[in-house]
Structure 1
Amino acid sequence: MATVTRENIGLLNDKITVKVSQEDYLPNFDKAVKQFSKSANIPGFRKGMVPAGMVKKMHGQALFADEVLRTVEKELTGYLQNEKLDIFAQPISLDKESLPLDFNKPDEYAFNFEVGLKPAFEVSPLEAGKTVMTRYKVKATDAEVDEEVKRLQIKGGKMTEPEAIDNEDNVLNVEFEESDAQGNVIEGGIKKDNSLLLKYFSSSIQEQLKGKKAGDTIVFQLATSFDTERLNWILKDLGFEENDQAAAQKYFKLTITKVGLIEQRELNEEFFKEIYPNEELTTEAAFRAKLKEEIEKYWDTESRNRLHNDLFEVLVHETPMELPKGFLTRWLQTGGEKPKTAEEAEKEYPNFDHQLRWTLISDKLIRENKLEVSFEELRESAKQKLMGYYGAGAALDGADWLDSYLDRLMQDEKFVDQTYREMVTQKLFDWAETKVDLKEEEITAEEFAKLPHKHHHHEH
């Protein structure tokens, strides 16, 4: 008769021993031999007429091992279910070497496994009065609105071809040729066409370029001609790595092949209608007010994302929880598609630990607070995404093809599962917001961008 015993070997780490005797596996072994003899194709014997002795001689050891292991797995699974053990992943075998299973000498066998137990914990950061957080309110400035107006005027403008460079918004079609400091082109060096705005260059290079026409050239060094962000962009375009200090010291001869300038759109009703087709905007003041509203709506979304990210960090790092690190590290070594070394598992563990804590916390909060997403909510979310993707908004609502497309989309398990996870996680954060003390703080976009991210570095 099979027996299963359990003993504690560490924090949330138990050893389970499964013992099986002949009476547990031999009947099934005999059945397996008979079944195999009915279906085996062995030269010299008719199908279904292979003697059991021949099957045992040729395949007995493999069939025997399969039945012993199948019996052990059945007993282990039954024990875990009956005891209602809430474990991580799968049990890990503690037997370093395979047991000497011999079908000619059936015996009692003991198999040892270790399991990691999920911890009991309370999400203390959400207890009343425990956590104070800040929701930032970003107000759009007149300068930001001016910048957006100009961007849209340029985006919708018409390209002209002035004779010479005279404006920081000039579009320059240029050819880069690697050279020495005197402008002598290096044979076999880099040669690349590009298109840049004059204002992308440093102020000194801009001064050199002003007044130049198509066909004119200058010589410049990369490192002294662009700010850090533009320099990295140019380096990558020329085939180098970002922050390649040696490449940044190279000189290039720049030949202007074409000078362009976008004629900005006039601020009138026709332009306003192109930008906001569903709005009745007749004045520049109304247009600017709408832009300000859109900018602040964008920052509201960014602020909410930041708050939710801060909530995530607080919940993960300030919820007291013990984890069986030893077991989980060993599981990381053996549980994936490809085995890992102890060093690789140790290196991966911090990120794994971080995500595992969030999974345990979010699952608990979703379950205990009955946070759910209905099929109708899933479908509506998918519809809004589609209408946003096609950019037609309400104009698409009710279209026959849209409904049939949605029907097919809602049969895609991967899409439905991903959408469900996104939506239920959003509901979780919305709910968690109501459980902390929120204070609102008004700041500028520049100040918001400089805020440090809430991230904990302490060990658990």
Structure 2
Amino acid sequence: MATITRENIAPLNDKLVVTLKKEDYLPAVDKSIKNYAKTANIQGFRKGMVPAGLIRKMYGPGIFQDEVLKTVDNELNKYIAEEKLAILAQPIALEQKELELNFQDPKDYNFEFEIGLQPEVNIDPKSINVTRYQIEVTDQALEEELERLRQRYGNYTTPETIEDEKTIISAEIAIDGQEPEPAAEGEEPAKPTDTAITLKDIAKGQQKEFKGKKIGDKVTVQLDKAFKGEILERVLGDLKLDKTDKENGKKTATLTITKIGFLEEAPLDEKLFDQVYPGKDIKTEEDFKTAIKADIEKYYAQQASGQIHDQIYHYLTDHVSLDMPEPFLKRWMKVSSEGKKTDEDIDKDIVDFKKQLQWALISSKLSNDNEIKVENEELKDFARHQLMSYLGGQMSLQGNEAWIEDYVNKMMGDRKFIEDAHGQVRIGKLFEALETQVTAKDQPIAEKDFTEMVQKHQHEHHH
């Protein structure tokens, strides 16, 4: 019977000594030699007729070594499981100079291993303080969304002439006196530059120049008189001119009208209410606005939730610090890199490695505390969701359900995908559970400030 002794050598760092008696491994060695004799292909012998003695002589030492090491491994794993040792990484076998595995002279052997132990994780979610940002829906946000919906369901027409200030004018634009480069032999002539503006984009004093014009008409303007601010910058950009150089604005250009379009916004009537919210039976503009506002609020609440999850994550990774057996982890990294990593590499890498381990330990402990389970259906939803976002909503669901299901089932057969998905779904559910337990204080914030804060934060994180 193999025996194992355990002693503590440093904080969260123990040494295990596995003692193998001859009778622990010899039966396995004999059995292995017999099996080998049955299957060995050796010249001059029929298969399965090779004498065991010859096998012992030729392959004995190798088989002996394999079986001894296999036995040690099994004993070690059995011990770790029975003692319920929560270990970090894998055990390290300690180098032993005097260990000669001699097939001719079987002995009792001692094998020494070093293990790292997981620190205790005790986190009370109530002790985590977060800010719940409450983004208010302004009248402006509501109006913008209303406008967007009316345009989306609006009616696009192509009037003969430019009349309404919301008319969209597409034109070829060229700086006066600047001939396009003549095309070299066999090359396409340079394409004219296109630009698109609405009549409203044109400076008040110049709008009359465009009113009543039809396709094919030409209008000549001084750029900075006809266009102001960002419209001017956009037109200069279309012309590939430096927009910081004031002189460029003074140039005159000729616009040849190529297309006239007009987007008539959908009227605020029951047809629109029904298109946006099918089956909700919305009758009045008031109720329509209330429904839109509720949608925006729901979107904002999701954003604020995501932000809380981010705060919780930072608290758990930056403010909780678990004791780690660092010297052991460094030795483990060295051994597992098989000599590829220098001590400097390891000093650099240990910081991230400890962070990853810490997050793995904390998230696993909190998932257990909260009994987080991931159901197969949730993995399928995750796969479906990911597939749809790859396709970027360019594919309608109608009529493609079978294809999507097939593809999702294919994803579900990919082990790497399942591991990733499982991790992401579990962490998502864990954050949702923690969000209901942490101590949150409400703070109103403008949407603009909230977005800026999130972007700044993401930016810092990508550096």
TM-score band, normalised by shorter chain: 0.5 to 0.7
What pairs with 1:311-322 in structure 2 (closer than 5 Å)?
311-322=312-323
Unaligned runs of 5+ in 2: 224-228, 241-254
> Shift of the alpha carbon at 1:2?
3.9
Hey, what's the Cα distance between the residues in 2 that align with 1:27 and 1:338? 36
> Shift of the alpha carbon at 1:266?
1.8
- 1:123 paired with 2:120, answer no
Letter of the 1:273 partner, please give it.
Answer: D
Which stretch of the first structure deviates more once superposed, 145-154 or 417-426?
417-426
SS at 1:63's partner residue?
helix
SS at 1:116's partner residue?
strand
Contact 2:153 / 2:265 at 8 angstroms: preserved in 1?
yes
What pairs with 1:203-214 in structure 2 (closer than 5 Å)?
none
Letter of the 2:149 partner, please give it.
Answer: L
Hey, what's the Cα distance between the residues in 1 that align with 2:295 and 2:192? 37
Which stretch of the first structure deviates more once superposed, 346-355 or 71-80?
346-355
Hey, what's the Cα distance between the residues in 2 that align with 1:141 and 1:94? 67
Contact 2:370 / 2:430 at 8 angstroms: preserved in 1?
no
Matched with 2:364 is 363
Matched with 2:288 is 287
Hey, what's the Cα distance between the residues in 2 that align with 1:166 and 1:46? 98
Hey, what's the Cα distance between the residues in 1 that align with 2:170 and 2:17? 75
Provide closer, same or farther for how the CA distance between residues 215 and 76 of structure 1 changes in structure 2, counting only shifts above 3 A.
Answer: farther
SS at 1:294's partner residue?
helix
SS at 1:90's partner residue?
strand
Matched with 2:93 is 93
> Shift of the alpha carbon at 1:319?
2.8
Provide closer, same or farther for how the CA distance between residues 48 and 420 of structure 1 changes in structure 2, counting only shifts above 3 A.
Answer: closer
SS at 1:89's partner residue?
strand
Hey, what's the Cα distance between the residues in 1 that align with 2:194 and 2:338? 46
Provide closer, same or farther for how the CA distance between residues 364 and 269 of structure 1 changes in structure 2, counting only shifts above 3 A.
Answer: same
SS at 2:90's partner residue?
coil
Provide closer, same or farther for how the CA distance between residues 346 and 147 of structure 1 changes in structure 2, counting only shifts above 3 A.
Answer: farther
- 1:149 paired with 2:146, answer yes
Matched with 1:441 is 443
> Shift of the alpha carbon at 1:113?
2.4
What pairs with 1:247-262 in structure 2 (closer than 5 Å)?
259=259, 261=261
Contact 2:372 / 2:430 at 8 angstroms: preserved in 1?
yes
Contact 2:158 / 2:260 at 8 angstroms: preserved in 1?
yes
Hey, what's the Cα distance between the residues in 1 that align with 2:289 and 2:129? 36
Provide closer, same or farther for how the CA distance between residues 378 and 195 of structure 1 changes in structure 2, counting only shifts above 3 A.
Answer: farther
Q: Work out which of the residue numbers 429, 442, 451 in structure 1 matches 2:431.
A: 429
Provide closer, same or farther for how the CA distance between residues 166 and 95 of structure 1 changes in structure 2, counting only shifts above 3 A.
Answer: farther
> Shift of the alpha carbon at 1:106?
3.6
> Shift of the alpha carbon at 1:357?
2.1
What pairs with 1:101-112 in structure 2 (closer than 5 Å)?
101-112=101-112
Matched with 1:223 is none
Which stretch of the first structure deviates more once superposed, 346-355 or 37-46?
346-355
> Shift of the alpha carbon at 1:427?
4.4
Q: Deviations over 1:244-270 (max 9, x none)?
A: xxxxxxxxxxx9995564614322332
SS at 1:91's partner residue?
strand
Hey, what's the Cα distance between the residues in 2 that align with 1:42 and 1:300? 74
Contact 1:122 / 1:320 at 8 angstroms: preserved in 2?
no
Q: Deviations over 1:25-68 (max 9, x none)?
A: 23321221111111112121112110123213332232122111
What pairs with 1:175-254 in structure 2 (closer than 5 Å)?
none
- 1:136 paired with 2:133, answer yes
SS at 1:114's partner residue?
strand
Matched with 1:62 is 62
Unaligned runs of 5+ in 1: 221-225, 239-254
Q: What CA RMSD, in Å, does the superposition of the two structures yield over aligned residues?
A: 5.4
SS at 2:368's partner residue?
helix
> Shift of the alpha carbon at 1:271?
2.6
SS at 2:85's partner residue?
coil
> Shift of the alpha carbon at 1:293?
1.7
Matched with 1:303 is 304
Hey, what's the Cα distance between the residues in 1 that align with 2:457 and 2:433? 20
Matched with 1:31 is 31
Letter of the 1:52 partner, please give it.
Answer: A
* Equivalent residue pairs, number: 407
Hey, what's the Cα distance between the residues in 1 that align with 2:353 and 2:258? 53
Provide closer, same or farther for how the CA distance between residues 337 and 102 of structure 1 changes in structure 2, counting only shifts above 3 A.
Answer: closer
Provide closer, same or farther for how the CA distance between residues 172 and 307 of structure 1 changes in structure 2, counting only shifts above 3 A.
Answer: farther
SS at 1:451's partner residue?
helix
Hey, what's the Cα distance between the residues in 2 that align with 1:328 and 1:214? 76
- 1:451 paired with 2:453, answer yes
Matched with 2:113 is 113
Provide closer, same or farther for how the CA distance between residues 434 and 292 of structure 1 changes in structure 2, counting only shifts above 3 A.
Answer: closer
> Shift of the alpha carbon at 1:409?
9.4
Hey, what's the Cα distance between the residues in 1 that align with 2:338 and 2:431? 33
SS at 2:46's partner residue?
coil
Matched with 1:328 is 329
Provide closer, same or farther for how the CA distance between residues 417 and 2 of structure 1 changes in structure 2, counting only shifts above 3 A.
Answer: closer
Provide closer, same or farther for how the CA distance between residues 158 and 102 of structure 1 changes in structure 2, counting only shifts above 3 A.
Answer: farther
Hey, what's the Cα distance between the residues in 2 that align with 1:92 and 1:192? 69
Letter of the 1:79 partner, please give it.
Answer: Y
Contact 2:383 / 2:412 at 8 angstroms: preserved in 1?
no
- 1:81 paired with 2:81, answer yes
Provide closer, same or farther for how the CA distance between residues 30 and 171 of structure 1 changes in structure 2, counting only shifts above 3 A.
Answer: farther
Hey, what's the Cα distance between the residues in 1 that align with 2:163 and 2:332? 65
Contact 1:165 / 1:259 at 8 angstroms: preserved in 2?
no
Letter of the 1:443 partner, please give it.
Answer: I
Structure number with larger C-alpha Rg: 2
Hey, what's the Cα distance between the residues in 2 that align with 1:321 and 1:413? 34
> Shift of the alpha carbon at 1:310?
0.7
Provide closer, same or farther for how the CA distance between residues 48 and 336 of structure 1 changes in structure 2, counting only shifts above 3 A.
Answer: same
Hey, what's the Cα distance between the residues in 2 that align with 1:443 and 1:35? 75
Letter of the 1:439 partner, please give it.
Answer: K
Provide closer, same or farther for how the CA distance between residues 420 and 74 of structure 1 changes in structure 2, counting only shifts above 3 A.
Answer: closer
Scaled by the length of structure 2, what TM-score is found? 0.67
Provide closer, same or farther for how the CA distance between residues 192 and 355 of structure 1 changes in structure 2, counting only shifts above 3 A.
Answer: farther
